[in-house]
């Protein structure tokens, strides 16, 4: 186990073997009390490789739900985050930079490449943390950088992309307005680029904002998506409460850059469809992506959403809910609606569900106290983290997922759970 982890973690390594012995001894002493699985045992060793004169945060204890360690870490800030410019500089030497991107991939993973569409607008440090967690050399990554981002951010992302052959910036960049059409167009741009990226025959596409973080390793995601066998994971319901988003024409107010209704009634949607409501994010089969981008009816629908409110939350859902469109890769229940049990792409904690961090627009921004329950969730990703809010939430998530990746630990993955979702 040690040879696999050596040289791959940040931080000083001189005391590694010392710590290893020390931790092993500790582990033996408390074996069977709190450490129930070998996964946590190995993680404990890995995480304890930090050396710090102050007491360092013990991510293992945090994930185990240790209350005193959680309150210690929740208070602990970090005043030393890498700036966009720091990240750009680091990526000047690709040998050093890409050294942090070497995670093992099984033959099964290499046979099942995944495409990612990342929408970013700030904070290279968080973008890079996410990318490190999901990066594999055989996958492909399109990053859409908001046209209004600072040049420091764009330069940082360019440098990253320059070091990693299968990471690129979308060929067309949008001025992304929250709740506006450009947000959806940004994903469409990446999807279009990814469909024509011939070097990688990806099977699924996952779109992510930088504030998401994986709950499953690439290895686990592949196993789950293979079970899904071409079925997408796309939230899609009909909900009359959202009629206001599509019955009037909306435009971006150039002064406030906010999306506002013109008050003008909008024509009904084309092709006799109903308008669905769902999430902007999902796991889309390749056939679904091809349909969404190229099918003539899908294009008409996309065009129709241009002056609606938050079309990123209606377009995928609308393609999915209208069974008569024959959209590929959607599984329906006996009553003909998309099967909600398959919506496993993203875990979001909505107010008033328990949140140990803070709510922002009714969505929980996770704190360190949330990790204990998060790591048990069935979804592929969790939304959302802020790198500078209780920084150890993201730091410990990264250590946890890196450890699982480095050791190909999938034994705790309940494949039967996913099989039962799709086979009934
Ligand atoms: C909780 O973590 C502290 C270190 O912060 C440790 O001393 C204590 O033994 C842990 N408690 C349990 C129940 O493991
Ligand atoms: C990158 O860093 C390595 C290791 O320090 C060094 O050997 C190499 O010359 C550097 N490359 C460039 C282009 O600076
Ligand atoms: C997966 O889907 C294909 C058709 O797309 C089908 O032929 C095959 O039987 C499916 N595999 C399983 C295990 O359901
Ligand atoms: C659109 O729907 C909302 C809410 O259902 C309603 O209040 C509004 O009057 C509708 N607008 C038009 C132009 O019909």
> Would you list the domain boundaries of the chain?
240-341
65 lines ligand 3 (CB under 6 A): no
Render pLDDT for 81-102 as a digit per residue (tens, 0 to 9). Answer: 999 999 999 999 999 999 999 8
Q: Mutation test of ligand 2: which of 89, 92, 93 has the most ligand atoms closer than 8 Å to its C-beta?
A: 93
230 lines ligand 3 (CB under 6 A): yes
User: Can you give the length of the chain in residues?
Assistant: 424
| CA 70/CA 79 separation, integer angstroms | 19
Q: Minimal CA–CA distance to 84: which of 160, 163, 147?
A: 160
**Ligand of minimum distance to the alpha carbon of 261:** 4
CA angle 144-140-197, nearest 5°? 85
Q: Which residues line ligand 4 (CB under 6 A)?
A: 243-244, 247-248, 265
Residue of higher predicted confidence among 55 and 380: 380
Dist. CA 69 → ligand 1 center (Å): 7
Two tokens, residue 61 = 């204890």
Dist. CA 271 → ligand 4 center (Å): 22
Cα 30 versus chain centre, distance: 35
Q: What is the mean pLDDT of the chain?
A: 89
- In this predicted structure, the answer to whether residue 33 has a pLDDT above a threshold of 60 is no
Two tokens, residue 199 = 């070097």
| CA 127/CA 158 separation, integer angstroms | 12
- In this predicted structure, the answer to whether residue 177 has a pLDDT above a threshold of 80 is yes
Residue of higher predicted confidence among 103 and 335: 335
93 lines ligand 2 (CB under 6 A): yes
| CA 344/CA 367 separation, integer angstroms | 22
**Ligand of minimum distance to the alpha carbon of 68:** 1
Q: Strands (DSSP E) along 215-273, which ranges? A: 248-253, 258-265
What is the residue whose two structure tokens read 């009390």?
A: 33
Dist. CA 229 → ligand 3 center (Å): 6
Ligand 4: residue whose CA is nearest its atom 1? 244
Q: Mutation test of ligand 1: which of 31, 66, 76 has the most ligand atoms closer than 8 Å to its C-beta?
A: 66
- In this predicted structure, the answer to whether residue 359 has a pLDDT above a threshold of 70 is yes
Q: What is the pTM of this model?
A: 0.89
260 labelled catalytic: no
Q: Mutation test of ligand 4: which of 241, 247, 250 has the most ligand atoms closer than 8 Å to its C-beta?
A: 247
Two tokens, residue 11 = 């931080």
Q: Which residues line ligand 1 (CB under 6 A)?
A: 34, 58, 61, 66, 68-69
Dist. CA 68 → ligand 1 center (Å): 7
| CA 143/CA 421 separation, integer angstroms | 31
| CA 176/CA 196 separation, integer angstroms | 23
User: Which band of pLDDT confidence, cut at 50, 70 and 90, is reported for residue 5?
Assistant: very low
- In this predicted structure, the answer to whether residue 132 has a pLDDT above a threshold of 80 is yes
| CA 279/CA 208 separation, integer angstroms | 11
Instruction: Give the position, in ligand 4's atom list, of the atom nearest the Cα of 248.
Output: 13
| CA 386/CA 212 separation, integer angstroms | 9
Instruction: Give the position, in ligand 1's atom list, of the atom nearest the Cα of 72.
Output: 5
Ligand 2: residue whose CA is nearest its atom 13? 93
SS3 237: strand
Cα 269 versus chain centre, distance: 31
Instruction: Give yes or no for a contact between 348 and 375, defined as CB atoms under 8 angstroms apart.
Output: no
Dist. CA 109 → ligand 3 center (Å): 18
Instruction: Give yes or no for a contact between 260 and 300, defined as CB atoms under 8 angstroms apart.
Output: no
Render pLDDT for 153-166 as a digit per residue (tens, 0 to 9). Answer: 999 999 999 999 99
**Ligand of minimum distance to the alpha carbon of 225:** 3
Look at residue 30 in the predicted model and tell me its pLDDT. Answer: 34
HSE, CB side, 13 Å, CA atoms: give it for residue 11. Answer: 13
As a whole-number percent, the residues of the chain with pLDDT over 70 amount to: 86
305-312: average pLDDT: 98
Q: Mutation test of ligand 4: which of 244, 246, 262, 265 has the most ligand atoms closer than 8 Å to its C-beta?
A: 244
| Residue of 220, 235, 313, 398 with catalytic role | 313
| CA 305/CA 314 separation, integer angstroms | 8
């Amino acid at each position: 186990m040690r040879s696999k982890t050596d040289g791959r973690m940040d931080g000083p390594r001189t005391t590694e073997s010392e710590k290893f012995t020390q931790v092993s001894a500790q582990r033996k002493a408390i074996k069977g009390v709190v450490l129930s699985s070998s996964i946590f045992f190995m993680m404990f060793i890995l995480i304890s490789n930090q050396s710090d004169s102050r007491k360092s945060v013990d991510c293992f204890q945090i994930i185990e739900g240790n209350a005193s360690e959680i309150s210690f870490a929740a208070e602990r800030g970090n005043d030393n985050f890498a700036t966009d410019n720091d990240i750009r500089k680091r990526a000047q030497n690709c040998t050093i930079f890409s050294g942090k991107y070497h995670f093992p991939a099984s033959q099964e993973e290499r046979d099942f490449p995944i495409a990612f569409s990342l929408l970013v607008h700030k904070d290279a440090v968080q973008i890079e943390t996410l990318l490190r967690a999901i990066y594999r050399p055989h996958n492909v990554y399109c990053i859409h950088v908001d046209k209004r981002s600072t040049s420091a951010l764009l330069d940082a992302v360019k440098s990253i992309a320059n070091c990693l052959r299968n990471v690129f910036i979308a060929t067309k960049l949008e001025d992304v307005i929250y709740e506006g059409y450009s947000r959806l167009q940004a994903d469409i741009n990446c999807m279009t680029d990814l469909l024509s990226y011939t070097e990688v025959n990806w099977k699924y596409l996952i779109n992510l904002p930088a504030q998401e973080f994986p709950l499953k390793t690439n290895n686990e995601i592949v196993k789950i998506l293979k079970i899904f066998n071409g079925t997408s994971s796309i939230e899609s319901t009909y909900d009359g409460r959202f009629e206001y988003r599509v019955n009037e024409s909306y435009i971006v107010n150039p002064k406030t850059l906010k999306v506002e209704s013109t008050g003008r009634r909008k024509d009904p949607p084309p092709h006799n469809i109903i308008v669905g409501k769902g999430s902007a994010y999902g796991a889309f089969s390749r056939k679904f992506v091809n349909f969404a981008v190229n099918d003539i009816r899908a294009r008409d629908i996309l065009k129709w959403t241009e002056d609606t409110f938050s079309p990123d939350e209606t377009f995928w859902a609308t393609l999915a809910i209208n069974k008569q469109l024959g959209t590929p890769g959607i599984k329906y229940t006996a009553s003909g609606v998309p099967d909600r049990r398959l919506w496993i792409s993203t875990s979001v904690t909505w107010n008033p569900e328990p949140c140990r961090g803070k709510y922002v627009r009714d969505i929980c921004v996770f704190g360190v106290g949330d990790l204990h329950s998060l790591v048990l969730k069935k979804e592929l990703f969790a939304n959302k983290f802020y790198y500078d809010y209780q920084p150890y939430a993201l730091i410990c998530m990264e250590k946890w997922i890196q450890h699982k990746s480095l050791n190909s630990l999938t034994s705790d993955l309940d494949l039967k759970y996913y099989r039962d979702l799709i086979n009934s």
